Chain A
Amino acid sequence: MNFKKSMLLSALLAATALGGAAHAQDSEKPYRFVMVSHIGSNDPNMNWLTTSLKEFEEKYPNVKTEYISTNNYSVQEHVRLLEQAIATNPDGIAVPIVSSDAFEGPLRKAIDAGIPVVAFNIPDGRPEGERIPYLTYVGGDEYLTGKKLGEYALAKAEAGEIPKPTHVVCASHDSAHQGLKARCAGMKDAMEKAGAKLDELFIGAEPATARNTLQSFLQANPDTNYIFTVAGWSSPWAWGVANEMKLDPDVDDKGMTILTVDEGPVSIEGVKAGHVLATNSQGFWLQGYAPMEWLYWNKKFGYAPQSDILTGPIIINKDNADQWATQVRGVFGDKAYDEQNTW
């Protein structure tokens, strides 16, 4: 038996044993894990996380999961929610480290009090010795998201399928969000290697204001030929502005090229319609399920992973968009999927 097969078998056995143990201990001490998220009901990606928590609860009936979130992209509001969650003394917390500075105090206090913490979606970006001592990080790598998407675009440009980048604008709706900044930084590093310039632009989350801001930027910087929107839902705004300015924003070998993120209906349908070159998946479902499992295993058996657990990025392009659409329809449902396609 080769190494890969034996690893796979071991993992399978471990999962079966742990799953069985979980079922056998239904009547044992109940646990309560809280996910304090920045992905609120204003973001369709919340469905991935809430669905995965529901499935986790079905597998581990003695665990109660709670999902609480902010809706207004405010770090202060998020910290307030986190402090409220800690005050309820849960058995574990999963939280995105939207701001290391702002989250450090409350999270260190929670960890000192014996509450295990798993970071999800956004890690503490500082070196290992300096970062908040959470159990592990489960999620995509925001920097790699930008970098891989940039490298994918450069490969397509090299092949002559899209224009070569000259000036890229990274349009962000939250100027304090470290994850979004990391996405822009990844894209910047990829693009600068190819000699293209990248500017980060704070467009805000309000549609009309965002369009106005982006339009102003494009008018003042006519050499811009790539727009990278760091949220899937803002990609139609970017396309709309470029289209109104007659910049030929559809995917072809001329005009403007648009890249976005996320595996939501808007992003995938944008790729399928030829409006967006590519988007990415960061394994959202896993980002809900895996932190809960690690919190459970940590509480129950004392297990602690020794490295971060990366769930993405995976590039979604016109070749695999249909397959992703089928998968996402399974999570959102056909009606919601179609309604959320705002193209």
Chain B
Amino acid sequence: MKQLIQSQGFGAIVGVAVMLAVFTVIDFSGWWTVQTVSNVTQFTAILAFVAMGQALVIMTKEIDLSVGSVYGLAGVAFITMEPTLGVPGSLVLALIIAAFAGFLQAVAVVKGQLPSMIVTLGGLFAARGIIYVWTGGSVHNFSPAARSHPLTRLLGGELFGIDAAIFWLVAVGAILSLVLWATPFGNRLLATGGSRESAESRGVRTDRIKIAAFVLCSLLAGFAGILTLCNQPQTHVTLGENMELEAISAAVIGGCLLSGGRGSILGAILGALIVVSFRYELIALGAPSSWYITFVGVVLIVAVIFNQKLARFLGHSV
């Protein structure tokens, strides 16, 4: 029990438990249906990929505002290049583009000593602009042959009636958690965010760690964009618009502290679950859908206060 309380996703676990209890009381028949759970988990999986990457960057005491645009850029690259390169080729190219976007921004942050908020804000606009210029305002269609390609089905289809994205989330989430908690890289990543000077004094190459975190973040965002399109190829140039805000919210609700050095992959996934669930339940209760933004804001502030108090209670300096 003590281990559970001390775990970095504890705040999110409490949040999810409270949320499920409240939703069960106020809307039992609407909430606990196969369709609702399927809808919520499917979109949670997409957002969670972006949130996991964001969590890694936040843990290094940086932030990435470009993830929504990178998500869109990778998706657009995947769908636009498919007629030339085929599904596997366009998938690889889309991931390379995403990784390159992350790398470029990371180099500007680390080597240029620039604030990540400014650099990635520039990345947000630049990537969105590239989408507009590249597509001329309209994303191309995904051919019937591409939609039925085995790789497309593997990423966007279903297995035992469950969306493939959820299996991918479980697999990637498990690997990232393992990397974070059981490898030297994870240790160095948290150390970089916790106290950069201290980490550097122990030989940690914090610049490399930060670059790796940004690249991973963009790769995960790009992969989420591809997963979305494999599942539903009907898209638009607005793909990923404002997703960075939901991803940051999910990571913070999930226990990531913007002061760095603290956070978890499980927390980011649960944070995404909370964000998506709130959207569903507010609409189900008949609230105007624009209220959702207000509720995310309120939940975000409550989560930050709770997570900070929890961290202080556990003896961490935040």
Taking a contact as CB atoms under 8 Å apart, the answer to whether B46 and A208 are in contact is yes
**A220, CB-defined interface residue at 8 Å:** yes
Contact A342:B235 (CB < 8 A) given known A212-B43, A245-B35:
yes
With A and B bound together, what is the CA distance between A341 and B232 in angstroms?
15
1/0 contact string of A31-48 vs chain B (CB within 8 Å) = 000000000111110110
Contact A41:B235 (CB < 8 A) given known A206-B241, A215-B39, A220-B284:
no
Q: Which of A55-63, A143-151, A197-205, A322-330 contacts B (4 or more CB under 8 A)?
A: A197-205
Tell me the dominant secondary structure on chain B's binding face: loop
Which listed residue (B237, B246, B276, B279) contacts A42, Cβ 8 A?
A: B237
**B290, CB-defined interface residue at 8 Å:** yes
**B137, CB-defined interface residue at 8 Å:** yes
Which listed residue (B36, B68, B228, B242) contacts A219, Cβ 8 A?
A: B36
Q: What residues on B are CB-neighbors of A211 within 8 Å? A: 43, 232
Interface hits, A237-274 → B, CB 8 Å: 237, 239-240, 245
Q: What residues on B are CB-neighbors of A204 within 8 Å? A: 241-242
**B30, CB-defined interface residue at 8 Å:** yes
**A16, CB-defined interface residue at 8 Å:** no
With A and B bound together, what is the CA distance between A330 and B168 in angstroms?
44
With A and B bound together, what is the CA distance between A72 and B46 in angstroms?
22
1/0 contact string of B29-42 vs chain A (CB within 8 Å) = 01001011001001
Taking a contact as CB atoms under 8 Å apart, the answer to whether A220 and B30 are in contact is yes
**B315, CB-defined interface residue at 8 Å:** no
In the complex, what's the smallest C-beta–C-beta distance from A81 to chain B, in angstroms?
15
> Could you say which of B139, B142, B238 has the most chain A C-beta atoms within 10 Å of its C-beta?
B238
Taking a contact as CB atoms under 8 Å apart, the answer to whether A205 and B241 are in contact is yes
Taking a contact as CB atoms under 8 Å apart, the answer to whether B284 and A213 are in contact is no
Closest to B227 in A: A208
Q: What residues on A are CB-neighbors of B36 within 8 Å? A: 219
**B166, CB-defined interface residue at 8 Å:** no
With A and B bound together, what is the CA distance between A213 and B276 in angstroms?
9
Taking a contact as CB atoms under 8 Å apart, the answer to whether A207 and B238 are in contact is yes
Interface hits, A212-239 → B, CB 8 Å: 212-213, 215-217, 219-220, 233-234, 236-237, 239
Q: What residues on B are CB-neighbors of A41 within 8 Å? A: 132-133, 136-137
Which listed residue (A47, A201, A202, A341) contacts B141, Cβ 8 A?
A: A341
- B residues near A (Cβ < 8 Å) are 30, 33, 35-36, 39, 42-43, 46, 68, 128, 132-133, 136-142, 228, 232-243, 246, 276, 279-280, 283-286, 288-290
- A residues near B (Cβ < 8 Å) are 40-44, 46-47, 71-72, 173, 175, 201-209, 211-213, 215-217, 219-220, 233-234, 236-237, 239-240, 245, 336, 338-343
